Amino acid sequence: MASEDEQKLFLEEMADVTPAPKTDRVDLKASKEVTPGELERRQAATAECAKDGNNLSTEYIEMLDPFAVLAFRRDGVQNGVFRKLKQGRYRFDACLDLHKKGVDQARREVYEFIKEASKYDLRTVMILHGKGDRNIEQPALLKSFTAKWLTEIPEVLAYHSAQQRDGGVGAVYILLRKSDKLKGENRERYSARS
């Protein structure tokens, strides 16, 4: 705690100090003016999402290394199931190849592929996204977007980079959620054994 002399000295030194003018501050409440081009892009993106239900983002993304291993699983996916997926021990029922596709086309195809696979009760599928190690400007672009998109799709329970025989780090195995129909069939099958 400061003594009385120190406080007095401090107040004397600060006597001629005036507060900084308010114009030096940034007004955080000021609204940013939207350009006509930006407004048009927003409306087009909103209309596209509303039309197809595809909410996968093409906004900012953290770029991955071309040789990074992709791995993701939602809560509730058993360790053994995830390990089998990682080891490529589940037969994949369908495959989507994204090589030589642009981001917008890949976005549409990934969304439609997962929705279609879920519709037909497929459990394990694979996407070939490539490593992107030949693209000097944006390495691993589709790989990075694929990893992000798969976490945004509720039907995806888990994914892991494929084994070397199936494309290695340029491909990903995907485990999809069981449909209610398949869950009911499993209940019937296993309750009949009891």
For residue 113, is pLDDT > 90?
yes
Residue 42 falls inside a structural domain: no
Q: Please say whether the beta carbons of 160 and 71 come within 8 A.
A: yes
* Mean pLDDT to the nearest integer, 74-82: 96
Domain interval for residue 129? 69-185
**pTM tops 0.75, yes or no:** no
Query: Residue 99: left if φ>0, alpha if ψ -120 to 50, beta else—which one?
Result: beta
Give yes or no for residue 117 having a pLDDT over 70: yes
Name the more confident of 18 and 22: 18
Tell me whether residue 36 is in a domain: no
31 assigned to some structural domain: no
Q: Which residues pair with 126 in a beta bridge?
A: 95, 173
Residue 115: is its pLDDT beyond 60? yes
**CATH number, domain containing residue 179:** 3.30.1370.110
Residue 192 lies in a domain: no
8 in any annotated domain: no
Relative to beta strand 171-176, strand 156-161 is antiparallel
Task: Give domain status of residue 23, yes or no.
Answer: no
Q: What percent of the chain has pLDDT over 70?
A: 86
How many domains in the chain? 1
User: How far is 64 from 133, CA to CA, in rounded Å?
Assistant: 11
Q: Is residue 123 part of a domain?
A: yes
111 located within any domain: yes
